[in-house]
Amino acid sequence: HPVLLSQGKDEYYLASGKEYVAYTNLEKAKEQHAKAKADLEEVGESLPDLEDELGNAQFAHEVAPDRESYEATKAELDRVQALYDAMIEKQTSAQATFDEFDGQLATLEETYNTEKKAREDQAKRLKDEANVDVDVYDPAAGPPELPEEPQAEGGNAEGGNAEGGNAEGGNAEGGNG
């Protein structure tokens, strides 16, 4: 039954597509989680030195003996404060991202495993019921390819051009008078 075989292959394609989506969602989450973790480590390494530098800049500014020194230390204090603020913002953002994906990874992994099993079950069904082997699917290689449609006897089943004609209508002016 070519129709049932075609349907089975379509269902395998659909299952492969669902697995691919689950796989890409999981991989993107892993990447973002790892990047957030690396950012947090970088902040952890940089922040103590930056806090010391900020404290020194604040002290130098507070004890500036004259107007010229005051202005110079103010510029340095502003520069270090901006670096410190940016580092704190990076820490806050990275922590939020880390926490978000830390909580999602297990669910995303479970979804991926469920979709992978559904695809494998469909492949087994095709083998058991129709003695058809499907290509092993690896979502890391990209989205699945459409299954080939069986060719109907007696010609091309693709269909013709269904664009139709011009539906604007004719000229309705007509008539004398």
Asked whether the beta carbons of 149 and 50 are under 8 A apart, the reply is no
Which pLDDT belongs to residue 156?
Answer: 43
Q: Which has the minimum average pLDDT: 1-10, 20-29, 99-108, 137-146?
A: 1-10
**Whole-number pLDDT of residue 92:** 97
Report angle CA 56, 61, 63 to the nearest 5 degrees: 95
Exposure string of 116-134, with b = 16+ CB inside 10 Å and e = fewer, is bebbeebbeebeeeeeeeb
Type of residue numbered 13: Y
Whether the predicted pLDDT of 158 surpasses 60: no
The amino acid sitting at 175 is: G
Q: Is 131 left (phi over 0), alpha (psi -120 to 50) or beta?
A: left
Query: DSSP code of 76?
Result: H
How many C-beta atoms surround the C-beta of residue 149 within 10 A? 12
Of 38, 30, 54, 55, the residue nearest 90 (C-alpha): 38
Q: What is the DSSP string of 99-115?
A: HHHHHHHHHHHHHHHHH
Read off the pLDDT band of 6 (50, 70, 90).
confident
H or E stretch covering 39: helix 2-62
Residue 135 pLDDT class (50, 70, 90 cuts): confident
Does the pLDDT value for residue 59 go beyond 50? yes
Residue 1: per-residue pLDDT: 63
Structure-token pair, residue 148 = 């080939």
CB 125 within 8 A of CB 5: no
